Structure 1
């Protein structure tokens, strides 16, 4: 009797194995593979209506995002623009000063190295800041791009190329941490970095955007970088963090970059 029980158990076990194998083979035979992808452009126009159920689902999230974007973070004492100066502007000075203040401690904590100065591009500022309240939405309007802050180590010779670029471009590219004074013939009268005379034999650490590091705006001198450090910090995020911790924005056109008369 015991042998019969074991025989019955073995029959069931073999049947289960057979059935499992059959199902496995069957599933393998029914596997489908992607052979072609097709797409077409669908123009969205006024003929497409709003789907009420989706609109109702999104509405509370939309309202919350709008509230966050429009919450007042600081106050601008006057209109801040990138057109109110020849060699430096109130908007450019604000942007460069923000990067210097916000990026320097992060770079220092991660590398033990001090940040020397900042260089951005005039065209990267996409909006003025009107007198009155300043919000997170302001930062998105001024800097709509997803650019990160990069710290670039440059030889003194590359910094000299940067200066030539600034002078020849005749645009108020934002800088901070340096003072560049030109003679009437556009030759350099003086250059100080962090209050010290420029040393061509020294390496300098400059904060800029990852867009410019890649050669944007023809800033080809960045290709000679000895090292590039991405601190994973968006320029726009730095702006919002700065707005959050200050009460009033009062940047002016100053003497960080100018020509003697």
Structure 2
């Protein structure tokens, strides 16, 4: 019956609009409506949303893995910074079809830490609430150095696949995971968010990348996959800093 009423209402609205003149507003007024703890809930709307809320709650409370420690982001390096950058690089490599040289996250894009104990899907949404996608840029070594110095100056470095030595607020040297120094004229693959690849956070110089490949996967979803696989292994996580950023 409700479905028939809705169809009838839509049909009636369409019929009336077809035979009437078009009107335009000549003015606007508004009233301020206070919404606080004393505001009464719309019971009809609550009943309508309840099935969706139950499904959402079930999704968000799924436990992915356990952590032995509480994790908070920090400068110049922290365990969660390293964990997330490593997760991005690894998951990007799976989807790219070959290993990624460097993983990069903008520090301000990591919005929360992770608790000690169960880590749920909801916790990952708190860490990465944005719908940013993974993009792989091929950059020259000189462009990688420009990227690192840019984010070192404005935020902090959240990186994977390299070790950076910093002095006088500038990256002085970079060594890759294979032990080789970064070469200005060689090219490297860098996994990052499409936000940064598009020039976000002032990184407009990335438009000159040698190559760009969008993986069409949400960074948050990649993190969820990463932590779910760790959980299936049956071991809690206990990430640490490893000295990938050294300040002299």
Pairwise same-fold verdict (TM > 0.5)? yes
**1:96 CA displacement:** 0.4
**1:178 CA displacement:** 0.9
The aligned counterpart of 2:35 is 45
Looking at structure 1, the residues matched to 180 and 28 of structure 2 have their Cα atoms a distance apart, in angstroms, of: 60
Looking at structure 2, the residues matched to 41 and 128 of structure 1 have their Cα atoms a distance apart, in angstroms, of: 41
After superposition, the Cα gap between the structure-2 partners of 1:186 and 1:58, relative to the gap in structure 1 and judged at 3 Å, is closer
**1:49 CA displacement:** 4.1
After superposition, the Cα gap between the structure-2 partners of 1:52 and 1:95, relative to the gap in structure 1 and judged at 3 Å, is same
**Mapped contact 2:77–2:158 kept (Cα < 8 A):** yes
Please state if 1:135 is matched with 2:120.
yes
Please state if 1:246 is matched with 2:230.
yes
More deviation, 86-95/99-108: 86-95
Looking at structure 1, the residues matched to 195 and 20 of structure 2 have their Cα atoms a distance apart, in angstroms, of: 43
**1:99 CA displacement:** 0.5
- TM-score, with length taken from structure 2: 0.79
Which of 228, 245, 248 is matched with 1:257 structurally? Answer: 245
The aligned counterpart of 1:231 is 215
Q: How many residues align?
A: 225
**1:151 CA displacement:** 0.6
**1:173 CA displacement:** 2.1
The Cα offsets for residues 146-173 of structure 1, whole Å up to 9 and x where unpaired, read as 111111111222122123324444x432
Larger-Rg structure: 1
Identify unmatched segments of 5+ residues in structure 1: 1-26
**Mapped contact 2:149–2:170 kept (Cα < 8 A):** no
Please state if 1:76 is matched with 2:67.
yes
**Mapped contact 1:117–1:194 kept (Cα < 8 A):** no
The aligned counterpart of 1:14 is none
Looking at structure 1, the residues matched to 228 and 21 of structure 2 have their Cα atoms a distance apart, in angstroms, of: 52
Looking at structure 1, the residues matched to 22 and 160 of structure 2 have their Cα atoms a distance apart, in angstroms, of: 54
Identify unmatched segments of 5+ residues in structure 2: 1-14
Looking at structure 2, the residues matched to 39 and 229 of structure 1 have their Cα atoms a distance apart, in angstroms, of: 47
- TM-score, with length taken from structure 1: 0.75
The Cα offsets for residues 214-234 of structure 1, whole Å up to 9 and x where unpaired, read as 222222331221222111111
The aligned counterpart of 1:17 is none
**Mapped contact 1:152–1:206 kept (Cα < 8 A):** yes
Looking at structure 2, the residues matched to 92 and 240 of structure 1 have their Cα atoms a distance apart, in angstroms, of: 16
**Mapped contact 1:186–1:259 kept (Cα < 8 A):** no
**1:71 CA displacement:** 2.0
